[in-house]
Structure 1
Amino acid sequence: MDAFYASVELLRYPELRGQPVVIGGGRNATPDTLADGTRRFKRLRDYAGRGVVTTSTYEARALGVFSAMGMMKAAQLAPDAILLPTDFDSYRHYSRLFKEAVATFTTQIENRGIDEIYIDLSDLPGDPAETAARIKQAVRDATALSCSISVAPNKLLAKIGSELDKPDGLTILTAADVPPRIWPLPVRKVNGIGPKATEKLAAIGIETVGDLARADLELLQANFGRTYSAWLVEVAQGVDERPVVVSSEPKSMSRETTFERDLHPRQDRGELSAAFTDLCTRVADDLRRKGYEGRTVGIKLRYNDFSTVTRDLTVPLPTADAAEIRRAATECLKRVPLDRRLRLLGVRVTALLPAGSYIAEPQSVQGELPFAPD
């Protein structure tokens, strides 16, 4: 999907089309509705805090504002950009709509998140490019949003190709297209080559995929080891044998929040407690909505010096209950030092099972976990 969150917001606020818009503010970024029915929008220059950009429109990206960028840095680059709060309920709604539209063509779909999927078109009759065009139209009819599709021999090239002609792109890639279209790209465009690997490759003179394709194998092995080097050689040639995985079970569900200011466990107990309860509730809602329960509850704390600690606790029975999750998470909190200000707080549930699938073996009765009330 093209600039997915931002595009959903433009359905809500069509008067913002063509303007730089940044998504990522809190509730205080909600527009004001004036007496005449018009809306007054917040500007990025008025933002103060430590949040990060969730996404931005292409007009904001042209100014250098991208997802995961700190909001304060974004405000320096695009002070007049419109700032909007995130609304994940809406994004999930439109995600369901677009995936349901694709599912009318085939069930061979690999879910890669809220705004991205892989589709295996191998068994569908007709020209794949024509099928892709019909899928694009079906998504637009269902959501009023645009998407970009790449038809390619494998997932690696499809992923890269879907970015080449955004927005509203339809890109066809074959193996013959690798040298002219893929090799000129920077290596960071390959999914799986992250910032650290990109930096390390640049240090040995490899900046493009073409450089990687021509690189000496011994040089790569000396810097990256045999396994990763072998993978680098394959992807540089556009080789990827991974199948489309139609069904995959999630391993965990989590929620976390970065505070606008560092909070002290004692002095800001009320604010922290409310945030803690909210995170537990949201994780429980996610579990119930997706039909899962979990055996292990964990927390994540990041202190004001950026050090991070995690703790986990396995509970007797799988749960998707917010109170049970909070009870277990509270036990985890008792096992970490709470003597410094906190920058981030997170709650997660792992060891997931489909709801109702767990069969308990006979065991002695165990009391409830101790709970420290607010």
Structure 2
Amino acid sequence: MTAGSRRIAHLDMDAFYASVELLRYPELRGQAVVIGGGRAAAPETLPDGSRRFARLRDYAGRGVVTTSTYEARALGVFSAMGMMKAAQLAPDAVLLPTDFDSYRHYSRLFKTAVAAFTAQIEDRGIDEIYIDLTEIAGASPDIAARIKRAVHAATGLTCSICVAPNKLLAKIGSELDKPDGLTLLTPADIPLRIWPLSVRKVNGIGPKASEKLAGLGILTVGDLAAADAGLLQTHFGRSYSGWLVEAAQGRDDRPVVVSSEPKSMSRETTFERDLHPKGDRPALSAAFTALCVRLADDLRRKGYVGQTIGLKLRFDDFRTVTRDVTLLAPIGDAAGIRHAATECLKRIPLTRRLRLLGVRASSLTRADEAHAGHRPVQGELSFAPGAGDADGADGAGDAGEAGHADGAGDAVLPGDPD
């Protein structure tokens, strides 16, 4: 079957986390709402049964926005924005805490609804999937409309779907008519609907590449389609420049991958204030243990063990350091993860306050295919300056506390960027 005869859909839930919260608090519909506050942002139930909501103007801390309603986005508040900056843009916006258990529940509901149509589904995270509709009888608009109705019936939420010849176009197209969109794209639509878009709209062109393209005068997908292939190869290398040329023309032969394995899982937290390695040792130790327990729970829930355990620290000067250790056998228990991460910690001099702490498990295998190593519970974490090299890669900004599963599956994501 040729790529041109395929019918690939990308389904993206609309402002997913925020929409789930509006099911719980329907009185907030039509208002600017920001998700990402801590427990202190939980609504207060008044004696008359009404609710008092926290406002963004009262927030104090260094958290970031997980997601926001479209009304808040109209005020300039988007995912991954610092909460204090968001408060300047939308001080009267309602602030709600995140509830990942609820988001996972609704994620399972919508995916189950889609699975009634076909098993040809590629899970791309908590709020989006690819669907291969090629073998489903019926016209594409009718099938997509039926799927949208099924998702709404199962969840009470809306989604946006694009049906296109490939994954690249379907992904771009699902953003074109949000919210509650149903979009059809064919190769003939590329000049009118795709080429006017910013190059950043192409999945796979990140901030650094788009900045480099802008330096060459390439701002839109159309500019990229008209660019000289030799110029692109000079600046981006043979492989990536070749992909850029194909992407600009809307060509993509990737299949819908029905089953795949996650590459890693991680948990991290950004502290409300910078913590001192010695003076705040109890708080750091408790946070460290909690992260290891949560990571172990993630591994157990998904049925994996990891052989490489990593540690991530971000200091008060925003320098990020990562260390990892590969074990003789894979593990999945919290004590083993904590022990291995502590070994990583010994290789990092702790001479500055900490703003972020994270743990990670990679080199994953199925738990039923490997014997997880068990280690005794370790003592208190020693937050004292140790030997080791401290230079690490600079990390990206964080979204408060989140769990990450790099790969397929209903990963708990920092935020839904739609």
The normalised TM-score by structure 1 is 0.95
Count of aligned positions: 369
Q: Which amino acid aligns with 1:174?
A: T
Residue 328 in 1 paired to residue 340 in 2? yes
- Identical columns (%): 76
Structure 1 residue runs of 4+, over 6 Å off?
A: none
Among candidates 234, 243, 263, match of residue 255 of structure 2: 243
Q: Deviations over 1:300-324 (max 9, x none)?
A: 0111111111122233432221222
Q: Give the structure 2 partner of residue 255 of structure 1.
A: 267
Q: Give the structure 1 partner of residue 211 of structure 2.
A: 199
How far apart in 1 are the matches of 2:230 and 2:327? 49
How far apart in 1 are the matches of 2:142 and 2:367? 40
Q: Which amino acid aligns with 1:195?
A: P
Written as runs of structure 1 = structure 2, the 5 A alignment for 1:210-359 is 210-358=222-370
How far apart in 1 are the matches of 2:180 and 2:374? 57
How far apart in 1 are the matches of 2:374 and 2:129? 44
Written as runs of structure 1 = structure 2, the 5 A alignment for 1:1-374 is 1-358=13-370, 368=375, 371-373=378-380
How far apart in 2 are the matches of 1:165 and 1:323? 48
Q: Which amino acid aligns with 1:153?
A: P
3-state DSSP class of the match of 1:164? Answer: coil
Q: Which amino acid aligns with 1:152?
A: A
Structure 2 portions without partners, runs of 5+:
1-12, 382-418
Q: Which amino acid aligns with 1:371?
A: Q
Contact 1:294 1:352 in 2 (8 A): yes
3-state DSSP class of the match of 2:197? Answer: coil
Q: Deviations over 1:262-315 (max 9, x none)?
A: 111111111111211111111111111111111222110111111111122233
Structure 1 stretch 147-156 or stretch 230-239: which is displaced more?
230-239
Structure 1 stretch 51-60 or stretch 350-359: which is displaced more?
350-359
Q: Deviations over 1:311-358 (max 9, x none)?
A: 222334322212221222222222211221011100111111111211
Flag the 1:359–1:280 CA change in 2: closer, same or farther, 3 A.
closer
Q: Give the structure 2 partner of residue 363 of structure 1.
A: none
3-state DSSP class of the match of 1:318? Answer: strand
Contact 1:331 1:371 in 2 (8 A): no
How far apart in 2 are the matches of 1:257 and 1:368? 25
Contact 1:280 1:347 in 2 (8 A): yes
Q: Which amino acid aligns with 1:83?
A: L
Q: Which fold has the larger relative contact order, with Cα–Cα distance below 8 Å and residues 6 or more apart in sequence?
A: 2
Flag the 1:238–1:368 CA change in 2: closer, same or farther, 3 A.
closer
Contact 2:41 2:97 in 1 (8 A): yes
